Structure 1
Amino acid sequence: MTSIQAEMPVLIRHAGDWIGTYIVVDLQGNILDRHQSHLTCEFPLDGEFPYYQTNRYTWADGKYEEYKFPGSYHDKALWFDTDRVDGKAWEVDDWTIILQFSYKGVPGMSLHEMIQISPCNNYRARTWHWFKDNKLDRRTLIQEERMR
């Protein structure tokens, strides 16, 4: 068993493919954006990174984006440092992971995400709080289901 498997058992439960919906809302709850997602969370046994995530997003108008997030592991946390993001994730309890990250191309913006996985490991609920210059700017609400 690797360190990440032993020390982050909640994160390990996220392995696999997830489909869902992202809804971005302003501070009054007005929808700013809505799109579909397909995320793949992997724990490669070989290679440079013990965690690898691929995010695919599709909008109703046909727009498509795909991003890759390799993660390193130390100090009981998952660390991201890619061309796009810089961040850290850690476990809080048997359901919850907290992820703090920032987009490198967006100065003054930081995101704080809470991720809950159901006890049956088939459903996830995620919320992002976007802060711009330390002030809450918007939220993203994410509902996901494990692909079967």
Structure 2
Amino acid sequence: MTDIRTAMPLLARHEGVWDGTYTYFNAANEKIDEHASRLFCRFPEDGPHAYHQTNHYTWADGRTDVRDFPAEYRDGRVWWDNDLIKGWAAEVPLDEYNRTVMLYWQRQGDPSLYLYEMIQLADDGQSRCRTWHWIRNGQLETRTAIQETLVTRDWRSLEG
């Protein structure tokens, strides 16, 4: 079995806890939502999953949401298949600077909607930006812009 850290060294550099802001825009480029986030990106050494991400969201009005994304590794990609999404993540070998990870996923139960995400990791590994393009029936529906800063690589120290 191939070790995910060896096979996906760029993704391995994302391990840790990230704080950020998600900002959503509709197709007319009007801001429709914004919330804070704390993401735990883990490569557990024990357990059934090669990669495990947990997203904590907080809105200014006090609403919160937590979403859990355990994943498998195979064929050079991370694969998700849970109640919310089905899709994959892969490093982009054409990026000679080794900064780019791409994701594709669909919402379960909504085949007309799919999403592509591009993640750019800063060279120093301390920040990253992500963009999501939500496409419904071939048309752009929403864009999400995400800015994040690394809190710590030691996700165990903050996991509760």
Interval containing the TM-score (normalised by the shorter chain): over 0.9
Look up the equivalent residue of 1:135 and give its one-letter code: Q
The alignment of Structure 1 onto Structure 2 pairs a total of residues equal to 148
Letter in 2 for 1:6: T
Q: Which structure 2 segments of 5+ residues have no match?
A: 153-160
Q: Which moved more, 1:104-113 or 1:115-124?
A: 104-113
Task: State the 1:3 CA deviation.
Answer: 2.0
Cα distance in 2 for residues equivalent to 1:105 and 1:142:
25
Pick the aligned partner of 1:145 from 137, 142, 149.
149
1:114 and 2:112 aligned = no
Q: TM-score, normalised by structure 2?
A: 0.89
**d(CA) in 2 for partners of 1:142, 1:17:** 15
Equivalences for residues 10-25 of structure 1 within 5 A:
10-25=10-25
Instruction: Show CA shifts across 1:95-135 (max 9, x none).
Output: 00000001114331101000011111110100000001121
Normalised by the length of structure 1, the TM-score is 0.96
Alignment-mate amino acid for residue 144 of structure 2: T
> 1 CA distance for matches of 2:42 and 2:125?
15
Q: Which runs of 4+ in 1 moved over 6 A?
A: none
Partner of residue 57, structure 2: 57
Using the aligned pairs only, state the percent identity: 44
Q: How does 1:1-148 map to 2 (within 5 A)?
A: 3-92=3-92, 93=95, 94-148=98-152
- Structure 1, gaps ≥5 residues long: none
The CA RMSD measured in Å over matched residues stands at 1.3
